[in-house]
């Protein structure tokens, strides 16, 4: 029975082989024959046949987000380290390439894969432009390299290699067929054919090897199952320092509310602190129906300004400006002044409506209606938010809704805005975000969206996958060393780090943590330093932060007392106890030190006192290293020994190195991994240390695969 | 500009909404209109449109092997715990199902998903038949459950719920439209519409809730991106005890070689030790050209039998039987006797040829030819294996080759073989294995293949993914506690455990470890107990193992002296120092205790002496628990305190429990987690303890999500 199967198969296979060598008519005939054979169930399926002689396996590519369903994220200038498992059967060697192209290019570029060990390979993709890039892998059995490596072993063992040199010559002759200039290869083939010591020397020499590597036999190359994507943003997506400011509180005169013009006057102060993004809560007309009064009371007095997030009134909706703040002309001037000050303006994008928002009348079908004829206001039973109508993403009119919502973004982009801070994105439908962010980024890859979602972890990561460029985090509530370390490890490793760019905020208008309520000046400084050095993007809600405001609306609440969300606040920004100078120093360190401008090189170092946390970051080229040490205790001086992972700092075991404190100014000479530190929150709770070895280490590239 | 876009969009959307409600002609018109709009670039892509109102996300399913490229593995009777992340936007509740079907069924079955926490859900798929199963997920926003839960909160807060009850009534009326029997739902809708206490009681009562859950609104249900597969094998794939025996050494008469008939006579001995698989090295004709002599010498004397793995001679190839061993009739009798003894015969499948194998003349194109006209023999330069020709999987005649190789398996299946132990599968092309194993399993899902690959980890895992039902492992060389724990954690967790079923061998004809060479009787017993209790499948190469043969071919070698691979060996199997009785006891424990028949419940317990290892396994129903404690030291008595994870044993903190040693026979009463143990390799190096609580714990199911 087996014999019959064999001889039948043999005949069939002969036909197929002939067809391969022949023209397309013959190939068609074979296909027909194969289809006929398939019907009898006794031959091999066409899908199998295609890959039958692809002996190399490619699997487990990285970065790869959800099997390629979403792109990974990088910024311009990054080199994408594209990894893959590649191996063949038996002991034959493998070679391969990463193939890549920018979405706007037709042609693919290739870079060689190099082996990292344990069948893991990497290729480097220089990401030179914003936008979407595609990449995939190809690999093949490298008969030349296998043969050459075996030859070396045979020669070393003193074996007769006469026949082997003939085999090598045939590899070279075949390669000459594939080469554009065959002459050198043909000459080498002749040398190998002549045999003897010259042939061995040529075979094991560099020149022939280089020629051969240039024309590999890729007939049976395997390709990776998927083409993967990476979205390349501008650098601010990775490195940004945010300052949040309510314009209506920016008045220099305590007797009247602030305006956009007042905010223009404050720009020098904000810029001088070293921020690069100025984020404004909504500046649109505020609804009058069910307007909230001070401290979130349901009764608003005549002059109460209401919550900026209750958007829309007779004066207009999401594309208009609250008349009390100014005009579109004022806004244009603010945008221009920001640019001149090295600041970018970030707009709030809160997709919800006050009851008197124009959309409520124009598009009643975008909201949910109740049997009593009213429109459903926002609720989290038993809590009611009657000044806000949420949007109904299940509406039959969803297409017009989506286009309308995107229209808001388009309008502000046209007015010069490139950054949006999106309010509560987790309460809007995911398909909408994927579409909207995708459309905007396709047209304008330089537009950045920050997701304000403090919700369940998987929801937050999903929003990042859908296209948000940055995301709020749980940092605000991570206060103990173990939880900071655990959370940062999660954020700075795949899968999270491939898609989720954290933005750390010690406070927001919604969150005055219990730690800050009970904290000292040292607590505010420690939280500032942690946010600004653990994460390459961070922000503060000011001037509440630098003035160390700490009184909650009531005991047990994380709301501020007399919150700016519901009333205008005036402060004396010139008070000498302000943290402005500390903020300035911290932001200067961030600007001057590339180590602090990324998160992927973060390493924690052990301290034998768990009230002290220590961690380092390095620039990719290894020339800049920052070691940060923070006392996490609110009140007490803490001391301990830091056990440094010297390799992570680029320092040799026996090397003397200097650490200069960018906060306090002192410089210390250290040697070896164990170093004593003492930090007093009443003085300065942190060291931000610039680490410099005295050896000649600066030229060493940082190796992301080391440690 | 935004206004213009909005009003345009609105008109377009109105048309679409009308079309949805209308007949197919209208829908076609809409499609045309949409296509036209697409051309202007201003409306929404059809692919986006399809999922626009699917508010639930489904991601990260498990098991899922390489994004569904390969099936996971289970055995008949298992309940597949199919997991997925499911969540929606906002605070709406989510509900969903796992959908599944056997490949032979057309219809899908559904089982509800239940939440595990952190947006993780699980559904149970009872795997009642062998073969391939498909499964996927569907989930939707559960408006009813959201409404009901909110109602309870409102009622508790004392709010007026009159309008809410009307909303609930409309949910119930809509559900009645979907129900086959609407009468109860209509009646309930009327109750809700009347309002008052009766309406609240009905809304929060169980009956209406149950009716509503039966007819969920799945209009905008989300489906998981992929349909995933699981291959369901018979139980032996998971639980098996192998005994390897060279038939030619099975003669009762030291003066002549053994035969298949001699082996028949030995079956009662092998069966009485408790094995269920009898594995034979190749029994095919052995090549004469370049035949190897004793101890792998290149010179064979006249009567030397050669290596069984040098397959093929004038007497035939892979489908014939070596005449010295017997005939096909003898083989048939052996198969029948095995079956009668509760043993299954496992054949060796070594795809390689001696120079005088009939295929070499019939199919010279299946081998690689050298420029001097010879065929390439096996090599690992500078080592040469001139008695073996490897197969060239790059041959143009690959299709006939593949069919020929599969023909060998088909032939032996026809002769009653259901288990193959595949020699060196990692030196054959991966596409061949995927095709061949797939074809065989499609026709005969009860056929099992064990991959003999001691190679790089990723290659071994790939072979498992391609369809091998069991795999050899590195267990043989894992001897320290830390490396055993680390390796077992890898093997018993996904991704490995989804595809890779380990088979642990303390020795093989190729591997006499240094540990055994230098070991005592205690070492052999310890390695036996480790293999048999750490892994639900294990095997020994006998009688070398139970007779504790330990002399290597030469110092530093892992080869046996006078190895059966190259010569016939006769032993006195009745010697009183044989480990037969220990093997019998260990195998009896495995057969009587379901806990030892699976690996997924393995838990390690801490011992304060790292020469002692302790671990437990439980049956899925929680009624059977085995705790194994082994002294890993070759020579010395070791003692220490075992700190038990009592929850993993199903024992309460303050419960007294008994542990009965299945090896030594003693019973101890223990209470609490810390217990002293002392083990002497000169007596018995291990406890295999049957753990029984005195509380009423037996009815508790084991919860795979607990710990």
Q: Do A404 and B87 count as a contact with CB atoms less than 8 A apart?
A: no
Q: Measured between beta carbons, which residues in chain A are less than 8 angstroms from residue B228?
A: none
- Among B527, B677, B659, B660, CA closest to B614: B677
The residue among B430, B453, B454, B495 with the most chain A CBs within 10 A of its CB, best to mutate, is B430
**Secondary structure of A92-106 in the HEC alphabet?**
CCEEEEEEEEECCCC
For residue B644, the domain's CATH number is: 2.60.40.1180
User: Is B6 touching A (CB cutoff 8 A)?
Assistant: yes
**Band (A467; pLDDT cuts 50, 70, 90):** very high
Q: Is residue A167 part of a domain?
A: yes
Average pLDDT, integer, range B242-255: 97
**CA-based nearest residue in chain B for residue A394:** B53
Q: Is residue A70 part of a domain?
A: yes
**CA-based nearest residue in chain B for residue A19:** B396
Model pLDDT, residue A420: 98
Q: Which two tokens stand for residue B478?
A: 């894992």
Q: How many CA atoms lie within 13 A of A405 on its CB side?
A: 24
Average pLDDT, integer, range A86-99: 97
Is the same domain home to B665 and B569? no
User: Is A441 touching B (CB cutoff 8 A)?
Assistant: no
Angle of the A162-178 helix axis to the A143-156 helix axis, nearest 10: 160
**CA-based nearest residue in chain A for residue B426:** A89
Whether B113 shows a pLDDT value over 90: the answer reads yes
Is the same domain home to B105 and B10? no
Whether A32 shows a pLDDT value over 70: the answer reads no
Q: Measured between beta carbons, which residues in chain A are less than 8 angstroms from residue B52?
A: 398-399, 402, 429, 431-432, 435
Q: Do A53 and B432 count as a contact with CB atoms less than 8 A apart?
A: no
**Band (A16; pLDDT cuts 50, 70, 90):** very low
Q: DSSP of B179-248, one letter per residue?
A: -SS-HHHHHHHHHHHH-HHHHHHHHHSHHHHHHHHHS---TT-EE-S--EEEEEE-GGGTSEEEEE--GG
Whether A84 shows a pLDDT value over 60: the answer reads yes
Q: Which two tokens stand for residue A654?
A: 């026996």
Distance in angstroms (rounded) separating the CA atoms of residues B492 and A423: 43
- Among A466, A471, A410, A393, CA closest to A433: A466
Whether B543 shows a pLDDT value over 90: the answer reads yes
Q: Is the dihedral of CA B38, B41, B43, B46 positive or negative?
A: positive
CB-based burial label for A342 (10 Å; 0-12, 13-18, 19+): exposed
Is the same domain home to B331 and B406? yes
Q: DSSP of B579-626, one letter per residue?
A: SHHHHHHHHHHHHH-GGGG-STT-EEEEESSTTEEEEEEE-TTSS-EE
User: Is A17 touching B (CB cutoff 8 A)?
Assistant: yes
Is the same domain home to A478 and A331? yes
Nearest CB to B119; choose among A382, A434, A458: A458
Chain A nearest-CA distance from B683, in A, is 41
Is the same domain home to B636 and B505? no
Chain B nearest-CA distance from A120, in A, is 9
**Band (A30; pLDDT cuts 50, 70, 90):** very low
- Among B559, B569, B553, B697, CA closest to B624: B697
Model pLDDT, residue A705: 57
Q: Is the dihedral of CA B652, B653, B658, B664 positive or negative?
A: positive
**Band (B382; pLDDT cuts 50, 70, 90):** confident
Cα A459 from chain centroid (whole Å): 16
Q: Is the dihedral of CA B572, B573, B577, B579 positive or negative?
A: positive
Average pLDDT, integer, range A97-122: 98
Q: Is residue A634 part of a domain?
A: yes
Distance in angstroms (rounded) separating the CA atoms of residues B214 and A420: 43
Whether B1 shows a pLDDT value over 70: the answer reads no
Q: Is residue A555 part of a domain?
A: yes
**For the ranges A79-83, A438-442, A506-510, B299-303, which has the lowest average pLDDT?**
B299-303
pLDDT tens figures, A376-423: 999 999 899 999 999 999 999 999 999 999 999 999 999 999 999 999
pLDDT tens figures, B301-312: 999 999 999 999
Q: CA dist B421 to A32, A703, B417, B464, Å?
A: 38, 44, 11, 13
Average pLDDT, integer, range B152-168: 97
Q: Is A452 annotated as catalytic? A: yes
Model pLDDT, residue A703: 54
Q: Which of residues 352-391 of B touch A (CB under 8 A)?
A: 363, 370-372, 374, 379-382, 390
| The total number of structural domains that make up chain A | 5
User: Is B458 touching A (CB cutoff 8 A)?
Assistant: yes
Tokens 């057969």: give the residue. B591
Specify whether the CB–CB gap between B307 and B284 falls below 8 A: no
**Band (B396; pLDDT cuts 50, 70, 90):** very high
Looking at every residue in chain A, the average pLDDT score rounds to 93
Q: Is residue B305 part of a domain?
A: no
pLDDT tens figures, A332-352: 999 999 999 999 999 999 999
| Length of chain B as a residue count | 707
Question: Which helix (H) or strand (E) element contains residue A433?
Answer: helix A430-443
User: Is A403 touching B (CB cutoff 8 A)?
Assistant: yes
Q: Do A403 and B5 count as a contact with CB atoms less than 8 A apart?
A: yes
Q: Is residue B618 part of a domain?
A: yes
Average pLDDT, integer, range B637-645: 97
Average pLDDT, integer, range B52-61: 97
Buried b / exposed e along B567-595 (16+ C-beta atoms within 10 A):
bbbeeeeeeeebbbebbebbbebbeebbb
Distance in angstroms (rounded) separating the CA atoms of residues B472 and B450: 7
For residue A206, the domain's CATH number is: 1.20.58.80
Distance in angstroms (rounded) separating the CA atoms of residues B41 and B166: 43
For residue B113, the domain's CATH number is: 2.60.40.10
**Band (B14; pLDDT cuts 50, 70, 90):** very low
pLDDT tens figures, A647-697: 999 999 889 999 999 998 999 999 999 999 999 999 999 999 999 987 644
Q: Helices (DSSP H) in A41-97: which residue ranges?
A: 46-50
**CA-based nearest residue in chain B for residue A320:** B2
pLDDT tens figures, B437-452: 999 999 999 999 999 9
Whether A13 shows a pLDDT value over 80: the answer reads no
Model pLDDT, residue B369: 97
Q: Do B394 and A462 count as a contact with CB atoms less than 8 A apart?
A: no
Model pLDDT, residue B16: 39
- Among A276, A279, A282, A264, CA closest to A330: A264
Query: Is there a cis peptide before residue A206, judged by omega within 30 degrees of 0?
Result: no
Whether A132 shows a pLDDT value over 60: the answer reads yes
Model pLDDT, residue A43: 84
Tokens 């206490």: give the residue. B197
CB-based burial label for B261 (10 Å; 0-12, 13-18, 19+): middle
Q: Is residue A289 part of a domain?
A: no
Is the same domain home to B134 and B257? no
pLDDT tens figures, B425-440: 999 999 999 999 999 9
Average pLDDT, integer, range B87-112: 97
Domain extent at residue A21: 1-51
Is the same domain home to B475 and B606? no
The ipTM (two decimal places) reads 0.91
Residue A560 DSSP SS3: strand
Q: CA dist B241 to A1, A72, A433, B343, Å?
A: 32, 47, 55, 10
In degrees and rounded to multiples of 5, residue B123 shows phi and psi of -125, 155
> Catalytic amino acids of B?
423, 452
Model pLDDT, residue A615: 98
**CA-based nearest residue in chain B for residue A395:** B53
Question: Which helix (H) or strand (E) element contains residue A686?
Answer: strand A686-693
CB count within 10 Å of CB A346 equals 24
Model pLDDT, residue B36: 42
Specify whether the CB–CB gap between B615 and B596 falls below 8 A: no
Question: Which helix (H) or strand (E) element contains residue A243?
Answer: strand A240-244
pLDDT tens figures, B585-614: 999 999 999 999 999 999 999 999 999 999
Angle of the B260-272 helix axis to the B328-340 helix axis, nearest 10: 10
- What is the torsion angle, in degrees rounded to the nearest 10, for the CA atoms of residue B72, residue B77, residue B79 and residue B82? 20
Distance in angstroms (rounded) separating the CA atoms of residues A473 and A457: 9
Distance in angstroms (rounded) separating the CA atoms of residues A138 and A336: 49
Whether A75 shows a pLDDT value over 60: the answer reads yes
For residue B466, the domain's CATH number is: 3.20.20.80
Q: Which two tokens stand for residue B458?
A: 């990723």
User: Is B570 touching A (CB cutoff 8 A)?
Assistant: no
- Among A649, A598, A419, A343, CA closest to A491: A598
Is the same domain home to B242 and B177? no
In angstroms, the first-to-last Cα distance of chain B is 58
Is the same domain home to A152 and A263? no
Specify whether the CB–CB gap between A260 and A331 falls below 8 A: yes
Q: Do B404 and A9 count as a contact with CB atoms less than 8 A apart?
A: yes
Q: Is residue B367 part of a domain?
A: no
Q: Which two tokens stand for residue B417?
A: 């073989």
Whether B179 shows a pLDDT value over 70: the answer reads yes
Cα B224 from chain centroid (whole Å): 24
Buried b / exposed e along B474-497 (16+ C-beta atoms within 10 A):
ebbebbebeebeebbeebbeebbb
Model pLDDT, residue B695: 62
Whether A28 shows a pLDDT value over 50: the answer reads no
Tokens 């009593």: give the residue. A372
Q: Do A9 and B408 count as a contact with CB atoms less than 8 A apart?
A: no
Whether B40 shows a pLDDT value over 50: the answer reads no
Report the range out of A381-385, B134-138, B670-674 with the highest average pLDDT. Answer: B134-138
Is the same domain home to A687 and A633? yes
Whether A298 shows a pLDDT value over 70: the answer reads yes
pLDDT tens figures, A616-651: 999 999 999 999 999 999 899 999 999 999 999 999
Residue A612 DSSP SS3: strand
**Band (B693; pLDDT cuts 50, 70, 90):** confident
Is the same domain home to A22 and A118? no
Average pLDDT, integer, range A210-237: 97
Looking at every residue in chain B, the average pLDDT score rounds to 93
Is the same domain home to A207 and A262? no
Average pLDDT, integer, range B137-145: 98
């Amino acid at each position: 029975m087996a014999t019959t199967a064999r001889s039948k198969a043999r005949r069939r296979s002969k036909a197929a082989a002939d067809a391969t060598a022949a023209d397309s008519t013959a190939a068609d005939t074979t296909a027909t024959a194969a289809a006929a054979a398939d019907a009898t169930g006794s031959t091999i399926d066409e899908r199998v046949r295609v890959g039958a002689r692809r002996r190399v396996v490619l699997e487990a590519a990285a970065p790869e987000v959800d099997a390629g369903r979403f792109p990974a994220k990088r910024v311009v200038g990054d080199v994408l380290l594209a990894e893959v498992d590649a191996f063949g059967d038996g002991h034959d060697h493998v070679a391969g390439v990463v193939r890549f192209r920018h979405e706007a290019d037709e042609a693919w570029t290739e870079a060689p894969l190099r082996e990292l060990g344990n069948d893991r390979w990497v290729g480097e993709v220089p990401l030179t432009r914003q936008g979407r890039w595609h990449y995939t892998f190809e690999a093949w059995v490298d008969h030349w390299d296998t043969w050459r490596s075996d030859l070396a072993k045979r020669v070393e063992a003193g074996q007769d290699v006469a026949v082997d040199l003939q085999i090598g010559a045939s590899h070279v002759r075949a390669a000459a067929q594939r080469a554009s200039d065959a002459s050198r290869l043909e000459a080498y083939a002749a040398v190998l054919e002549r045999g003897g010591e010259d042939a061995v020397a040529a075979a094991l020499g560099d020149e022939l090897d280089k020629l051969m590597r240039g024309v590999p036999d890729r007939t049976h190359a395997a390709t990776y199952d998927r083409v993967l994507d990476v979205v390349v943003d501008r650098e601010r997506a990775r490195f940004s320092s945010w300052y949040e400011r309510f314009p209506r509180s920016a008045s220099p005169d305590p007797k009247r509310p602030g305006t956009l013009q007042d905010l223009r006057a404050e720009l020098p102060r904000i810029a001088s602190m070293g921020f690069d993004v100025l984020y404004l809560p909504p500046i649109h007309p505020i609804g009058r129906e069910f307007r909230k009064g001070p401290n979130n009371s349901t009764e608003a007095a005549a002059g109460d300004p209401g919550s900026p997030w209750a958007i829309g009134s007779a004066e207009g909706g999401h594309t208009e400006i609250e008349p009390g703040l100014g005009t579109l002309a004022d806004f244009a001037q603010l945008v221009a002044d920001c640019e001149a000050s090295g600041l970018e303006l970030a707009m709030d994008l809160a997709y919800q409506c006050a009851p008197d928002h124009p959309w409520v009348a124009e598009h009643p079908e975008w909201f949910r209606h109740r049997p009593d004829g009213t429109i459903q206001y926002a609720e989290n039973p038993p809590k009611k938010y009657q000044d806000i109508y949420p949007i109904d993403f299940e509406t039959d009119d969803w297409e017009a809704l989506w286009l309308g919502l995107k229209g808001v973004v388009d309008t502000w982009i046209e007015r010069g805005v490139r950054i949006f801070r999106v309010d509560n994105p987790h309460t809007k439908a995911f398909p909408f975000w994927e579409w909207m962010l995708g459309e905007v980024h396709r047209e304008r890859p330089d537009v950045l969206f920050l997701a304000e979602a403090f919700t369940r972890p998987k929801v937050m990561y999903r929003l990042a996958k859908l296209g948000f460029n940055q995301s709020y985090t749980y940092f605000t509530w991570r206060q103990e060393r173990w939880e900071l370390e655990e959370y940062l490890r999660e954020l700075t490793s795949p899968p999270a780090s491939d898609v989720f760019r954290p933005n750390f905020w010690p406070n927001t208008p919604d969150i005055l943590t219990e730690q800050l309520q009970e904290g000292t000046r040292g607590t505010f400084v420690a939280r500032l330093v942690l946010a600004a050095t653990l994460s390459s993007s961070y922000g503060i809600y000011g001037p509440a932060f630098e003035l160390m405001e700490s009184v909650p609306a009531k005991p047990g609440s994380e709301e501020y007392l007399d919150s700016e969300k519901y009333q205008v606040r005036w402060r004396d920004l010139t008070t000498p106890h302000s943290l402005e100078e500390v903020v300035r120093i911290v932001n200067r360190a961030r600007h001057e030190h590339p180590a602090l401008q990324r998160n992927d090189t973060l390493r924690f170092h052990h301290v034998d006192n768990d009230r002290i946390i220590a961690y380092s970051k390095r620039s990719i080229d290894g020339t800049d290293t920052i070691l940060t040490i923070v006392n996490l205790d609110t009140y007490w001086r803490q001391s301990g020994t830091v056990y440094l992972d010297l390799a992570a700092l680029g320092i040799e075991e026996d090397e003397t190195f200097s650490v200069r404190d960018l906060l306090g100014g002192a410089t210390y000479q250290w040697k070896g991994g164990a170093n004593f530190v003492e930090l007093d929150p009443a003085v300065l709770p942190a060291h931000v240390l610039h680490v410099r070895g005295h050896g000649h280490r600066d030229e060493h590239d940082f190796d992301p695969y080391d440690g």
